[in-house]
């Protein structure tokens, strides 16, 4: 099966030998600490490294076993006691948070996204209408699932709206450093000053997802409450992984590895765009042009139903995730697909896109 569904790095992106050595050295150097229970907020040296990169105090950085687990803790903080409340999300958005929020009983309000990212007018209208949401969830850079990036103008405007409405805003940014072209935009966290913006990221896309090291930078009060939830769940997160990642970054492997990953995945992004142009150019299908990250969003012409197309695609050996998975039920995406180019080879990309195009025709 050619999988455009798997939003994971191709195996050759994983720095296996380096990490094996880092894990060994981390245990030898700091085994008595990292093989015991540790601090609820995670391994101190890695928190300090992240804090320095973001210009914050280390106490504001909380490490979790993947950033998605931090999202679960944040959701528990707001909705765990059965309290009602709203969360504003992008439409489409990453499907796992949608499911986590729905399971927690949150009211999910979806806001439109276009080629420039989240629509600030829609955000403003919803904030004015009220009631105030528990938080706004957004993936401004190389969004999962669309690959789109919030424009510079919109970043400034949204940072102003966050301040004006004093609303908590979660900026989820696991892909931002995996950029193939264009110029990096300032984070909402940096534009707003980190008072109301929670920043989350992860080493899943820059080092390896299997280390399960994600992190959050919280405003102080929220951070303490979320850390208490984490501690009551797992006492401490996995120190061995975090110390391994610390050893990796501390010996200067982070940037060269990232450059290597960008080379490997950038070639796949280029192949996906070229294959789509060749196979679907002029067909009425439209797709996003991600400058980084793992995903591209494909809108088939109106009338194509991906509930019907996907099983036929799988029967010919190619799979993707249906657009509807990234919306609240009934919210859209019927003729859309999320195509991940991170896992498949360049040859598979050309072959898979050709198969999809012939099925569509
Ligand atoms: C937008 C977004 N946030 C969070 C995550 C989860 O990352 P982690 O591996 O750190 O849990 C992913 C993973 O695909 C993602 O796409």
Provide mean pLDDT across the span 278-292. 97
Residues 62 and 43: their CA atoms lie apart, in Å, by: 9
Domain 16-250 fold is 3.40.640
The pLDDT assigned to 6 comes to 96
| Ligand 1: residue whose CA is nearest its atom 1 | 144
Q: Is the pLDDT of residue 220 over 90?
A: no
**How much of the chain, in percent, has pLDDT values that exceed 90?**
98
Number of H helices, E strands in the chain: 12, 14
Is the CB–ligand 1 distance for residue 68 below 6 Å? yes
Provide mean pLDDT across the span 249-273. 98
- Does domain 256-360 correspond to CATH entry 3.30.70.270? no
Read off the pLDDT band of 2 (50, 70, 90): very high
299-316 pLDDT, tens per residue?
999 999 999 999 999 999
Is the CB–ligand 1 distance for residue 178 below 6 Å? no
**Where exactly does CATH 3.40.640.10 map onto the chain?**
16-250
Residues 72 and 65: their CA atoms lie apart, in Å, by: 11
**Strand arrangement of the beta sheet that strand 286-287 belongs to:** 286-287, 295-299, 336-340, 321-322
The pLDDT assigned to 232 comes to 97
Q: Is the pLDDT of residue 221 over 90?
A: no
| Ligand 1: residue whose CA is nearest its atom 14 | 7
**Where exactly does CATH 3.90.1150.10 map onto the chain?**
256-360
Alpha helix locations (H) across the chain? 16-34, 44-54, 67-79, 95-103, 120-129, 152-165, 188-192, 220-234, 239-250, 254-280, 306-315, 346-360
Q: Is the pLDDT of residue 81 over 90?
A: no
Q: Is the pLDDT of residue 44 over 90?
A: yes
Is the CB–ligand 1 distance for residue 139 below 6 Å? yes
Mean residue pLDDT of the chain comes to 97
What is the distance in A from the centroid of ligand 1 to the CA of 159?
23
The pLDDT assigned to 114 comes to 96
Q: Is the pLDDT of residue 166 over 90?
A: yes
190-205 pLDDT, tens per residue?
999 999 999 999 999 9
Coil, strand or helix at 338: strand
**How much of the chain, in percent, has pLDDT values that exceed 70?**
100
- For 102, how many CA atoms within 13 A lie in the half-sphere containing its CB? 11
Q: Which atom of ligand 1 is nearest to the CA of 143?
A: 1
φ/ψ (deg, to 5) at 274:
-65, -40
The pLDDT assigned to 287 comes to 98
Read off the pLDDT band of 283 (50, 70, 90): very high
Provide mean pLDDT across the span 24-40. 97
Global pTM exceeds 0.85: yes
What is the distance in A from the centroid of ligand 1 to the CA of 208?
12
- Strand 107-114 versus strand 117-118 pairing type: antiparallel
91-148 pLDDT, tens per residue?
999 999 999 999 999 999 999 999 999 999 999 999 999 899 999 999 999 999 999 9
Read off the pLDDT band of 268 (50, 70, 90): very high
The pLDDT assigned to 361 comes to 86
What Cα–Cα distance (Å) separates residue 193 from each residue in 3, 158, 294? Answer: 40, 13, 28
Read off the pLDDT band of 181 (50, 70, 90): very high
* Alpha-carbon torsion, ordered 194, 199, 203, 206, to 10 deg: -80
Q: Which atom of ligand 1 is nearest to the CA of 204?
A: 9
């Amino acid at each position: 099966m050619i999988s455009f569904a798997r939003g994971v790095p191709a195996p050759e992106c994983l720095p296996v030998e380096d990490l094996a050595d880092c894990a060994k050295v981390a245990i030898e150097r700091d085994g008595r600490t990292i093989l015991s229970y540790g601090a609820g907020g995670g391994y101190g040296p890695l928190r300090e490294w992240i804090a320095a990169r973001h210009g914050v105090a280390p106490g504001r950085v909380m490490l979790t076993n993947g950033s998605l687990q931090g999202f679960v803790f944040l959701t528990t903080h707001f909705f765990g006691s059965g309290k009602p409340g709203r969360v504003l999300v992008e439409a489409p958005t990453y499907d796992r948070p949608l499911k986590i929020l729905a399971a927690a009983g949150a009211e999910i309000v979806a806001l439109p996204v276009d080629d420039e990212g989240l629509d600030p007018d829609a955000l403003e209208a919803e904030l004015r209408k009220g009631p105030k949401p528990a938080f706004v969830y957004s993936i401004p850079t190389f969004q999962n699932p669309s690959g789109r990036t919030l424009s510079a103008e919109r970043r400034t405007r949204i940072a102003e709206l966050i301040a004006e409405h004093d609303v908590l805003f979660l900026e989820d940014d696991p892909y931002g450093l995996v950029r193939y072209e264009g110029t990096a935009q300032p984070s909402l966290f940096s534009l707003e000053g980190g008072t109301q913006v929670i920043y989350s990221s992860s080493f899943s896309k820059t080092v390896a997802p299997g280390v399960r090291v994600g992190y959050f930078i919280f405003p102080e009060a929220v951070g303490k409450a979320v850390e208490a939830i984490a501690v009551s769940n797992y006492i401490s997160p996995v120190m061995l992984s975090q110390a391994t990642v610390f050893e990796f970054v501390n010996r200067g492997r982070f940037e060269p590895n990232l450059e290597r990953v960008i080379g490997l995945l950038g070639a796949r992004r280029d192949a996906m765009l070229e294959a789509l142009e060749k196979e679907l150019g002029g067909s009425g299908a439209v797709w996003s042009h991600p400058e980084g990250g793992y995903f591209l969003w494909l809108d088939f012409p109106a009338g194509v139903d991906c509930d019907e197309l996907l099983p036929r695609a799988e029967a010919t050996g190619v799979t993707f995730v249906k657009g509807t998975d990234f919306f609240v039920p009934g919210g859209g995406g019927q003729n859309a697909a999320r195509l991940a180019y991170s896992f498949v080879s360049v040859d598979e990309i050309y072959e898979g896109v050709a198969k999809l195009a012939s099925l569509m025709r």
